Amino acid sequence: MSAAALDRQIRPIYDALDTGSNKSAILACNKLLKKYPKSDLLKSLKALALVRSQKVEESLVLCDEVLASKPTDDSTLTAMMHVLRHLGRHSDMVVMFEDAFKRQPGNEELGVQTFFANVRTGNWKTAQLHATKLKKQFGDDRYVYWGIMCAILQANDHITPPNMCDLLYKLAHRLASSVWSATEFNPDRLHLYLSILRKLHLYDDARTVLDSEQGKSICSRSLACDELRREIWKEKGWLKEEGKLAEERIVHKQDRNWLEFLSVLDATFSSLTSSNEAPDASAREECTQEAARVRILFTKVAEEDGRKDRSGLLALLELEKRARIHDVSSDPSRLVDLLQQYHETFGDKAASYEDLKPYLDMDGEDLTRWISYLDGLPHSSSSLADLQRSINVYKLSRYNLQPSQYTVELEVPRALHLKQEYLEALSLGKDLPKTELQPADDLAILAAQVYVGLYSLSGDKDHLQHAIVFLEYASKKSPQSYLIHLHLIRIYRLLGAPQPALEHYRLLNVKQVQNDTLSHYILNRASDFSLAASGDLTYASECLESSQIYLSNTQEVKKGNTQTNPRRANVRQTADFIVRAFNGEKYSQIPDFIAFEDRLDNSLERDLVKMEHVRMRITHETINSDLIDMELIELKFIFERMHHDNRDFALLPNYQPLGQPSFVTQTTLMRKQPGFGWLSVFLKIYIRALQQASDMDNTVEEKLLIGDRPKPSTGPDNNVPLNDRVSIRRPEELAELTSDELTFYNYATDLADWLAPYHDHTRPPPSVVLAEATKQAELKTGHPLKGLEVPVDSGNGHAKKAEDAPLVKEAPASLVTFFTHMQSRFKALLESNSPSPELLHVASITQEALILLNIETLRFKNQSVIKVHKLGPLAQSFKAIRASAVGILGEMSKDLIALGEGEGTSESRKAFVEQCKDLQGDSNITHDYVLDVAKKVTDARKKVLEGFGKGIARVCTNHA
């Protein structure tokens, strides 16, 4: 066959792959494979098409054939690279390239690809050694820098022991000193070199480089190098020098980077801060004089800049704040003078309030003066500037509102006043296009926060309804305001109306990485609102959708061998960019990319959502061994992760007075924010239950998984075996649970402790489980499971003898009392007319307890297990618990449905409208408009109460 001929025939396969027509690619491969049965390229292309159409097992077979033949040609290697990435077999990729490079050691491209393959797996040590090899062989300096970068990355890797770190940095330093030259102009090489010098505290060496013309020139055009330079100066305590430089930049170059001002300020107080001992009189005197000099400097800047730039005035405020802290302030009235001056100059900028916030923590004379100043200011909305000033004054006054002034009686008129101001100010923006924000928006947000504060003070949910009525109106006027949407989301959820919350969330148009930081606004404790059990999968799908972002960026091990439909492709996107950054020598980016990937892969929100999804899933899916095994594997991986909290709470401003709970706290469901501890507890609950229910012990699991395993965790107890770790209870974790979740945790623990011996006794041995898995896989795919040797069990290969069955113990009393306790919780909430989220929470936890009981007892549904092991009495005792649970849940279900019916009536709407009467009364917020909102809220509450109630009834039927 001529190469050209084959080439021509293969082209259509590439085209098919490019356009995603995997089916036709497979067909074309098959055809050609008949002619060229040995072609590695064809096999690898077919493997690629197969893996892309989710046919993992078939792809694995081809993949192994190609790997065994140790390919060296470019096209095959490239195709295989994609296949292996899809399969998560990054280590195999390394081996493949290493082999190829060994066979063609003069091929630089193969050498580079081998390096990249190691980079993809985060195998820094091997990558570093390989870079040295490349340098030796091909001579390019960039390979030395690659090696340096790898040494540093290895040192920074959390699995590297500290003493090793030091050695690695020294190695990096040796390498760097050998290549660094005075003619180097690449800022990223300098950045890399400096980061080593900094880490090794070789500050003087760093300074020599930075003070040279070369260093200065690079820093002047690289923000990254200049940033590092600043950090080095600061760390070493060269504050005075840095201050002088910064002063020059401010004065001569008109540089207004706030960092320059901070440098001047740090220098000003350095005589007091640079030593650990208490400063003596001369140091104080020096500082006082410096402060006076710098004050003149900043004053001049402020005067020159006028309204053009805020730096000068803000620096004066910061100077005064620090002078007070160090007790060198010379004029007790200066702080308030400056605040006033600032407000007069920049009070018409939206940022002014946030600018001033750090300086508002005051008391005594200052506070009195400041408040009376604010009180004396006029409010007007006759121009945009006036309106912004007025808004800022409201915010500032509110910040320092004293507890005696913060009462229900005083707050209600304030809210109404804000409403009035808002409506009047709307005229300023009436001609703006729909794409613009209304300048009056902040007045609406302030009013809403006042109402939420009122709810917090009084517990009266009417205030929340006021907030909703008002914000819905404001949202219509300013549809682009994300802040109004976010406020509405929080308040609707608090009111037990999840549907409109979700609608507003969708209007935010959350995309891509924002899912990670924002989905908590809607998915936090979403299982309490999920109607999955009654067939409405809205929330369950929302969980899956918001999690897509992780799947496309992650490396995950899958239960590929037994699963015909594994999760989506596991291409590590970030790894590709790390490779690109190496290729383009953008070293400054690489640690950031790794940090980014780590934070995304190990995102707390990712796994909180996962947990919520599992909890929803089990309410409507059949619980069988597939579900149990899949979830168990995944939850165990999650349990090993060191999580990062990327949730964006800072997005919501807080306008509650100093010392009061923040708006975020006030709108957190049940005032408990699930975090690391909450996740850990729920993982433990489910891992324990699923482990008991599963036939798959560690040996079996090890055999059935394909792909690379995640790096071992370095958590505090990582040397404690997982089985023991899931039984550890930590007080700080318990603190994140609601009281009902804590009760549930205790219940789950008692249940698992009680049933553990019977599970361990009756679980089939690994050989039986593996044989069954093989059989199933062959039935499904026509291929046997690869590389699977069924182990021979110790003993006679049979399940343990019936005679050794552990004695049947009576069920712990706590299991029954759990349900009666939840019943009385529910009744009490019902009677006290509590807001529905808590009621739903109690119902949802009770339902979860029933489902957990069924997961734990699924194994014993099998009559022969009961018979063979003589576990009849055991089965009887959990039947009794189940019956009592079902009875109690049945009543809850009825109560919820009845409550929901009450919500959906015209009386309830009328009552709503009546309560919000004080908001009506002009042409804007009319009776009909309020009625519409009332309908929206009550319908949403009806829907969730009824839906949840019906769901419980179904769960009871399914699990009875």
Partner 1 sequence: MSIIRPFRATDLFAFNNINLDVWTETYGISFYLSYLARWPDLCCVQQAPNGPLMGYVIGKAEGTSTEFHGHVTALTVAPEFRRLGLARSMMSFLERVSNDVYGGFFVDLYVRCRNGVAIGMYEGLGYSVYRRVREYYGSLGLGPGGKDDEDAFDMRKPLSRDPFRRSVRPNGRDMIVSAHDVS
Binding site for partner 1 (CB under 8 A): 187, 221-224, 227, 256-259, 261-262, 308-311, 314, 349-351, 354-355, 357-358, 434-435, 437, 480, 482, 508-509, 511-514, 516-518, 549, 553, 573-574, 576-577, 580-581, 584, 586, 588-589, 592-593, 595-596, 599-600, 646, 648, 650-651
**CA angle, corner 53, sides to 50 and 59, nearest 5?**
25
Q: Report the residue number, 136 or 308, with the smaller CB distance to partner 1.
A: 308
- Three-class DSSP labels, 377-412: CCCCCCCHHHHHHHHHHHHHHHHCCCHHHCCHHHHH
Pairs from 658-662 (Cβ < 8 Å, separation ≥ 24): 658/360, 658/361, 658/399, 658/400, 658/401, 659/403, 660/406, 660/453, 660/456, 661/456
Residue 348 has what DSSP assignment? T
Smallest gap, in angstroms, from Cβ of residue 646 to partner 1?
A: 5
Smallest gap, in angstroms, from Cβ of residue 504 to partner 1?
A: 12
Residue 652 has what DSSP assignment? S
- Give the H/E segment covering residue 805: none
Residue 565 has what DSSP assignment? S
* Alpha carbons 933 and 913: distance in angstroms, whole number: 9
Smallest gap, in angstroms, from Cβ of residue 153 to partner 1?
A: 15
Dihedral of CA atoms 905, 908, 910, 912 in degrees, nearest 10, equals -140
Q: Residue 407's Cα: distance from chain center in Å?
A: 37
Q: Report the residue number, 508 or 627, with the smaller CB distance to partner 1.
A: 508
By three-state DSSP, how is residue 778 classified?
helix
Residue 651 has what DSSP assignment? T
Do the beta carbons of residue 693 and residue 859 sit within 8 Å? yes
* Alpha carbons 784 and 779: distance in angstroms, whole number: 9
Smallest gap, in angstroms, from Cβ of residue 477 to partner 1?
A: 15
Q: Report the residue number, 413 or 584, with the smaller CB distance to partner 1.
A: 584
**Residue 615 neighbours by CB distance under 10 Å:** 25
Q: Report the residue number, 9 or 514, with the smaller CB distance to partner 1.
A: 514
Q: Report the residue number, 351 or 828, with the smaller CB distance to partner 1.
A: 351
Q: Report the residue number, 480 or 920, with the smaller CB distance to partner 1.
A: 480
Smallest gap, in angstroms, from Cβ of residue 474 to partner 1?
A: 15
Do the beta carbons of residue 653 and residue 565 sit within 8 Å? no
Tokens of 142: 């960039």
Strand partners, 603: 644
* Alpha carbons 662 and 449: distance in angstroms, whole number: 10
Q: Report the residue number, 225 or 531, with the smaller CB distance to partner 1.
A: 225
Q: Report the residue number, 516 or 629, with the smaller CB distance to partner 1.
A: 516
Smallest gap, in angstroms, from Cβ of residue 121 to partner 1?
A: 18
Q: Report the residue number, 348 or 903, with the smaller CB distance to partner 1.
A: 348
Residues 6+ away with beta carbon under 8 Å from 276: none
Phi/psi for 644 (5° steps) reads -120, 140
**Residue 945 neighbours by CB distance under 10 Å:** 25
Do the beta carbons of residue 243 and residue 319 sit within 8 Å? no
Smallest gap, in angstroms, from Cβ of residue 233 to partner 1?
A: 15
Q: Report the residue number, 251 or 350, with the smaller CB distance to partner 1.
A: 350
Residue 212 has what DSSP assignment? S
Q: Report the residue number, 224 or 632, with the smaller CB distance to partner 1.
A: 224
Smallest gap, in angstroms, from Cβ of residue 310 to partner 1?
A: 4
Do the beta carbons of residue 91 and residue 121 sit within 8 Å? yes
Q: Report the residue number, 518 or 773, with the smaller CB distance to partner 1.
A: 518
Smallest gap, in angstroms, from Cβ of residue 912 to partner 1?
A: 30
Q: Report the residue number, 31 or 221, with the smaller CB distance to partner 1.
A: 221
Smallest gap, in angstroms, from Cβ of residue 627 to partner 1?
A: 30
Q: Report the residue number, 258 or 778, with the smaller CB distance to partner 1.
A: 258
Smallest gap, in angstroms, from Cβ of residue 435 to partner 1?
A: 5
Q: Report the residue number, 138 or 258, with the smaller CB distance to partner 1.
A: 258
Do the beta carbons of residue 521 and residue 486 sit within 8 Å? yes
Output b/e per residue, 152-162; b: 16+ Cβ within 10 A.
bbbbbbeebee
Residues 6+ away with beta carbon under 8 Å from 227: none
* Alpha carbons 469 and 917: distance in angstroms, whole number: 11
Smallest gap, in angstroms, from Cβ of residue 520 to partner 1?
A: 12
Smallest gap, in angstroms, from Cβ of residue 586 to partner 1?
A: 6
Smallest gap, in angstroms, from Cβ of residue 588 to partner 1?
A: 6
Smallest gap, in angstroms, from Cβ of residue 582 to partner 1?
A: 9
Q: Report the residue number, 309 or 462, with the smaller CB distance to partner 1.
A: 309
Smallest gap, in angstroms, from Cβ of residue 501 to partner 1?
A: 16
Do the beta carbons of residue 582 and residue 590 sit within 8 Å? yes
Nearest in space to 742 (alpha carbons), one of 813, 812, 821: 821
Do the beta carbons of residue 523 and residue 539 sit within 8 Å? yes
* Alpha carbons 48 and 10: distance in angstroms, whole number: 14
Q: Report the residue number, 129 or 384, with the smaller CB distance to partner 1.
A: 384
Nearest in space to 948 (alpha carbons), one of 523, 498, 393, 634: 498
First-to-last C-alpha distance (Å) of the chain = 68
* Alpha carbons 115 and 696: distance in angstroms, whole number: 37
Smallest gap, in angstroms, from Cβ of residue 937 to partner 1?
A: 25
Do the beta carbons of residue 776 and residue 562 sit within 8 Å? yes
Do the beta carbons of residue 523 and residue 546 sit within 8 Å? yes
